């Protein structure tokens, strides 16, 4: 019988956000759930950040970014993230609708792909202060001062427990 050897884990980064219900609780719960996904380990999570909706209406968001190590392939990881969203009551009534939980796969190693299902890196990661600021705390080399300057007009603030 052949032994199946799993490939080396991949570093991935996930943006988390919520703006319905107890949004901070939802984001903290999702961070804990990331560590429970198959073949996945939470390496580091940013502090929580509050942000005004961008290109949308509704209550303020609570955001964070997580660094994970995973042996799941990118599509399987995205499916697992969507499963967590669904478990949190996520509905997709319209584009940029308020949400109980939003999990975006920002990076999967150095993978670059574009399909109807998944684009990597995430296509708008550089346009959002609520992604760049927490990403900087878990992966500083991905965020330049120029990127931060470009989003400095967006309303964000670090949240305290």
* Partners of residue 119 on adjacent β-strands: 114
Q: Is residue 1 part of a domain?
A: no
Q: Is residue 60 part of a domain?
A: yes
For residue 121, cis peptide bond before it (omega within 30 degrees of 0): yes
Residue with tokens 């988390």: 16
Structural domain boundaries enclosing 82 = 10-158
Query: Which of 120, 115, 1, 102 minimizes the C-alpha distance to 54?
Result: 102
Q: Is residue 4 part of a domain?
A: no
The pLDDT > 90 percentage for the chain reads 80
CA dihedral 84, 57, 95, 66 (to 10 degrees): -30
Considering its fold, how many domains does the chain have in total?
1
Give the domain CATH number at 119.
3.30.70.560
Q: Is residue 43 part of a domain?
A: yes
> What pTM did the predictor assign?
0.92
Flag whether pLDDT at 10 surpasses 50.
yes
Flag whether pLDDT at 81 surpasses 80.
yes
Q: What is the pLDDT of residue 96?
A: 65
Q: What is the pLDDT of residue 95?
A: 64
Residue with tokens 């502090």: 47
Q: Is residue 56 part of a domain?
A: yes
Q: Is residue 29 part of a domain?
A: yes
Query: Which of 2, 23, 6 minimizes the C-alpha distance to 76?
Result: 6
């Amino acid at each position: 019988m052949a032994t199946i050897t799993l490939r080396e884990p991949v570093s991935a980064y996930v943006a988390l956000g919520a703006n319905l219900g107890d949004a901070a609780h939802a984001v903290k719960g999702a961070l804990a759930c990331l560590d429970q996904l198959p073949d996945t380990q939470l390496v580091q999570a940013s502090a929580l950040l509050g942000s005004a909706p961008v290109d949308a209406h509704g209550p303020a968001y609570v955001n964070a970014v997580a660094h994970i190590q995973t042996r799941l392939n990118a599509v399987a990881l995205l499916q697992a993230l969507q499963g967590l969203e669904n478990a949190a009551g996520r509905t997709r009534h319209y584009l940029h609708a308020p949400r109980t939980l939003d999990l975006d796969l920002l990076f999967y190693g150095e993978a670059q792909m574009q399909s109807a299902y998944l684009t990597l890196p995430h296509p708008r990661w550089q346009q959002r202060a609520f992604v760049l600021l927490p990403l900087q705390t878990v992966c500083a080399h991905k965020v330049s001062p120029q990127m931060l300057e470009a989003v400095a007009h967006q309303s964000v603030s670090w949240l305290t427990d």
